[in-house]
Homo-oligomer: A and B are copies of this chain.
Amino acid sequence: MASIDAVLQKIDDNQPAALQRLFALLEIPSISTDAAYAPQCARAAAWLAAELTGLGFEASVRETAGRPMVVGRAKASHRDAPHVLFYGHYDVQPVDPLSLWNTDPFKPEIQDGRRIVGRGASDDKGQLMTFVEACRAFRETGGLPCDVTVLFEGEEETGSPSLPDFIAANRDELRADLALVCDTGMWDAETPSITTMLRGLVLEEIVVRAADRDLHSGAYGGAAVNPIHVVSRIVADLHDADGRVTLPGFYDGVDELPAAVAEQWRALPFDEGDFLRGVGLSVPAGERGRSVLEKIWARPTCDVNGITGGYAGVGSKTVLPAVASAKVSFRLVGRQDPAKVAAAFRAFVRARLPADCAVEFIPHGASPALQLPFSSEALTRARRALHAEWGREPVMGGSGGSIPIVGTFKQDLKMDSLMIGFALDDDRVHSPNEKYEVTSFHKGARSWARVLDALAK
């Protein structure tokens, strides 16, 4: 096995050719949502399988009911190496409105010597190729330090409909010691980040029915129960004056941050005012006494995502409606149990249901929070590796939203995921003129080389 310095030097030497390879992938319009581009998705999958085969992987394109998967497997140069599963996706978002692009989205180019511009440059072709280039450098300098399985999918932008079944059907092939997921971003252009926590999600819709028809509010108002009032009361009761969620037992399994992480977050150059001003707000809402980063990364929440009842048109209508509804979501952290949260919510609603009202519960999904333990050895090694590459301690960040593949890996393959990515907030993913920094691409590959090296030691 070559020294890491030799591998990094190889990555530097390969950089011009690596960009050419990335461009070849970016030129394939592998838009997954539009069936007209299915052949292009197949082309991208075949291109990746060929790349991996060229690197000594045992690689194949695997058909699904939708867009194909690519699976590749390569052994480390020595026995008893750890086994990692790397995940990325080759499909991209549509490009419309095309008129807002300054260049052809599928004719990638480097602008100002520093930005790779094109659809998929950042999300996720550029990111997944950082890992491929790291593997290449190892192969060209003596061999991989880890057993590596690669899984590239082609339906991430359409909700990964084929993925759960594919993973369930290929558990033995895909199971590894650790998953590496490259679909996240850096803290800023100079500071790497490891996403260590993803909030879970419980989605519950309630439909409250009262009278068997809409009533005239003149004829019945004051004597007939109004389901809009019932739903509003339930929503209002879900938070106390301190912004805490009032469901009994809701905070069971919610831990305080380790002191070191809390300290790191406090020290981050994060301006709460700037964050909020970006969307037209100025004052943090929510749980009293918590920072904004805590609130969006490490604290559970409840938000009503939709409410309906009665007349929604222009003007007024003196109706006392028969039905009102709300779509409620809970973001979970730590060890909160989605089933217990859903049950507590349903009990909470039933306890507030007046006579003559019936409630229907419509579940729209439940998943637990995911947490890479702060004490995990893999995390410690990855932190050290990224620090060596970037000269800065990586941010142990959270993500308020969910990354479904990470949950699937955890639940179905019993694997933790190390989420490292090199995208920047201004990469315009999903938007016209998507770009990826040349630095992200280059130092991303170097970062993966260091991480693989660190995991193997």
* Residues of chain B contacted by A285 (CB below 8 angstroms): 222-226, 354-356
Which of A42-50, A210-218, A431-439 participates in binding chain B?
A210-218
Given contacts A236-B233, A304-B309, contact A218 B281 (CB under 8 A): no
Which B residues lie within 8 Å of A414 (CB)? none
Contact B305 A356 (CB under 8 A): no
Q: Return the contact of A229 from the options B225, B236, B279 (Cβ within 8 A).
A: B236
A219: Cβ under 8 A from any B Cβ = yes
Given A236-B237, A279-B212; A228-B304 close (CB under 8 Å): yes
Whether the Cβ atoms of A310 and B305 lie closer than 8 Å is yes
Residues of B within 8 Å of A233, CB to CB, are 232, 235-236
Is A130 located at the chain interface by the 8 A CB criterion? no
Known: A213-B280, A305-B311. A299 touches B201 (CB 8 A): no
Complexed CA–CA distance, A35 and B279 (Å): 49
With both chains docked as a complex, state the minimum distance between the C-beta of A348 and any C-beta of chain B, in angstroms: 14
> Is there a chain B Cβ closer than 8 Å to A307's Cβ?
yes
User: Chain B's nearest CB lies how many Å from the CB of A25?
Assistant: 28
A205 within 8 A of B: yes
**Which of A58-66, A71-79, A321-329, A335-343 sits within the interface?**
A321-329
Q: How far is the CA of A283 from the CA of B354 in the complex (A)?
A: 9
Query: A224 to chain B: which residues have CB within 8 Å?
Result: 276, 279, 281, 285-286
Cross-chain contact A222 with B287 (CB below 8 angstroms): yes
The closest CB in chain B to the CB of A279 belongs to B211
Instruction: Identify which of A82-90, A163-171, A312-320 touches chain B.
Output: A312-320
Q: Which residue of B lies closest to A325 (CB)?
A: B312
Question: Which chain B residue has the least Cβ–Cβ distance from A402?
Answer: B218
Complexed CA–CA distance, A88 and B193 (Å): 78
Q: Compute how far the CA of A327 lies from the CA of B319 in the bound complex, rounded to whole angstroms.
A: 10
The answer to whether the Cβ of A248 comes within 8 Å of any Cβ in the partner chain is: no
**Copies assembled:** 2
Q: Is A401's CB within 8 Å of the partner chain B?
A: yes
| Cβ distance A52 to chain B, nearest Cβ, rounded Å | 33
Q: Which of A219, A279, A301, A355 has the most chain B CB atoms closer than 10 A to its own CB?
A: A279
Q: Is the CB of B319 within 8 A of A305?
A: yes
Contact B280 A212 (CB under 8 A): yes
Chain A contact patch, size range: 35 or more
Q: Is A219 within 8 A of B305, CB to CB? A: no
Is B400 touching A222 in the complex (CB atoms < 8 A)?
A: yes
* Closest chain B residue to A283, Cβ basis: B355
List the B side residues contacting A287 at CB < 8 Å.
222
Tell me if A231 is interfacial: C-beta within 8 Å of chain B: yes
State in angstroms the CA–CA spacing of A286 and B281 once bound together: 38
Partner of A309 from B203, B306, B317 at Cβ < 8 Å? B306
Is the pair A331, B221 in contact by a Cβ cutoff of 8 Å?
yes
* A312/B316 contact (C-beta < 8 A), A222-B400, A285-B226, A285-B356 known: no
The residues in A between 75 and 114 inclusive whose CB is less than 8 angstroms from any CB of B are: none
Q: A229 to nearest B CB, angstroms?
A: 6
**Among the interface residues A216, A282, A299, A329, which one has the most CB atoms of the partner chain B within 10 A?**
A329
CB of A239 closer than 8 Å to a CB of B: yes
Contact with B along A233-247 (1 / 0, CB 8 A): 101111100000000
Contact, CB under 8 Å: B236 / A232: yes
Residues on B with beta carbons closer than 8 Å to the beta carbon of A225: 281, 283, 285
Q: Contact at A311–B327, with CB atoms within 8 Å?
A: yes
Give which listed residue, B307, B356, B364, contacts A281 with CB less than 8 A: B356
Known contacts A211-B279, A305-B321, A307-B228: does B237 contact A296 (CB below 8 Å)? no
Shortest Cβ gap from A184 to chain B (Å): 13
What residues on B are CB-neighbors of A386 within 8 Å?
Answer: none
CB interface residues, A 397-440, toward B, < 8 Å = 399-402
Inter-chain contact B327/A220, CB cutoff 8 Å: no
B310→A307 contact, CB < 8 A:
yes
Q: Does A292 contact B (CB under 8 A)?
A: yes
A252-289 Cβ-contact flags toward B at 8 Å (1 or 0): 00000000000000000000000110011111111100
A295 within 8 A of B: yes
A249 in contact (CB, < 8 A): no
Bound-state CA distance A229–B356 (Å) is: 25
A-B contact sample (6 more), CB < 8 A, given A203-B318, A221-B301: A222-B286, A229-B239, A305-B310, A310-B327, A316-B365, A318-B329
